[in-house]
Structure 1
Amino acid sequence: MKITKEIKTGILALFAILLLIYGYSFLKGSDLFSKERTFYVSYDNVAGLTVSAPVTINGYVVGKVKKIEFENDLGGLLVSFSVNKDFNFSKSSIVRIYSTSVIGGNALAIIPIISKDNIAVDGDVLKGEIEKGMLESLTSGIKPLENRIYTTLSGLDSLLSNFNSVLNEETKNNLKNAIGSLTNTMSSFEDTSSDLNTLLKENKPKLDSTFSYLEITTGNLATFSDSLNQIDINRMATHLETTLESFNSIMHKFDSGEGSIGKLINDENLYKNLEAASKELEELLRDLKENPKRYVHLSVFGKKTTEYESLDSNNN
């Protein structure tokens, strides 16, 4: 039998619908092919329990919360959850809401009662309870926060009151004047900055020339520094030391009376003779200045020459 195009299209559409249903169920966390069992439990308060919260037995995840809805007009809540493991427990077992962590939310824990009689089956309603101290701990955690908020608000109120008391008319005027002065200062600063920019633009060629000269000078200093580095300092020091030794040797000879200059310096008699000769030369020059006729004779008729008299005799 030949399968028509319409049949193929219908089969494909049916397969797509089934696949869509399975995918939707999978995204919701339900497995159409699993042998899960659904149970129900009633609470007056679910303490923040949410759909898809885990269901555990002895800490092992065996299912999840499927639905939470109001059970009656009094506000009671009916929680439906699934168990997909082949673990049998008694219908008298307790389903407890507990906190998984401080910020991790809540979950359901089945406290199993193992009994071969009265085994819980799909659709049974189990007994529920909330973990002891859970609400109390939540309340106790909120109370300190409430106190802190109250203290903070009180402090903020006091701060605002003090701030309003400080902001009197005089203070407001002072603030206005300060803001005005600050505005004037900023305006003056902008004018100064503009003048400085104009000055820099007008003197840019001179500044460029100055920086170029500074660069050349720096290069010359670097060259001079290199020249100083190339000087043989040790050789100069050795040469200077040799020169000083020679000078010391000459001075030693002078002091010891060696050579003509040394004898001239150290011979006391020679010094006295030189002093006497200098004194006589001084007297001769003075007499020549005072009595030139004694030394220069210009006589036409043969005038008798005046005899020389020593200065010592004249002084006497």
Structure 2
Amino acid sequence: MRLSNEAKVGLLVMTSFTLFIVLVGLLTKFNISQKGYRLHVYFGFLNDLRVGAPVKIGGGIKIGYVDEIRQTGEKTDVILWIDKGYRLSKAATFSIFTSGMIGEKYINVVIPPMSEDVGFLNDGDIKYGIDPASFDQMMQTFQSFMQDKSGAQILAEIFQNSNKFVANLNKMVDENRYDVRQSVGTARAAILTFSQQLQQFMQQMNVISKNMAYISEKNREDITITLQNLSELTSSMNKIAYRLEKGRGTMGKLLYDEEIYTNIRDASISAKELFSRLEKDPSLLLFKQKK
């Protein structure tokens, strides 16, 4: 019996769809793409935690998910699947948190700094989680607090003190209303004066800027000539410095020629000796010394 082309296409579509459903179920249930281990965490209150909720470290890094929830005695056993790449310390704590105000619930894992080697959690280990505080529980606590005489008295004292504080604040404002108005008026006048002075200053700066622009435009030619003269003077000074450095000219030879320097030094010494002898015997200037 031969199948028509339409039957073949239908059979192929049905087979592909069935395989897709099976693969999705396997990936969701058994997470065959990764390997991990399971932990049993006991809670007394789940706060609407559901199967498939993520498990995160520090509220950020996802390391697993809630695989199963079942009742065990007085506690609820929450079975967590943890990726094998994350080794959790035995000192780790497990809590139920909420993403944002009304977001999904998740298991938050906090690993405290280990002061000693306490080891790691293994497959099948049991931990006791920290129960979340529900809004109903908080309301019940507040209601019991209000029903208690001491709680109601404390709350009444708080309201009385608040009323006294508001009354004292109003009284202080009334007593210092004139001073406050005067201070505000003074500040307003100071701001107005400063604004006027600032406006005058800006006008003066505009005038100065216009004058500087006029002077610059008027004396542009003189400024250009002055700059050219300075450039030529600098060039001449560079040439003189170069000649002195190379020992050219009288000054250059005087600075760099050792022989000239020696002759000048010897002449200076001889002149010094001559003046010293004349100072001791001035007659040497008129009479020739006999040998």
TM-score for both structures, normalised by structure 1: 0.34
- Which structure has the larger Rg? 1
TM-score for both structures, normalised by structure 2: 0.37
Structure possessing the higher relative contact order (Cα contacts under 8 Å, 6 or more residues apart): 2
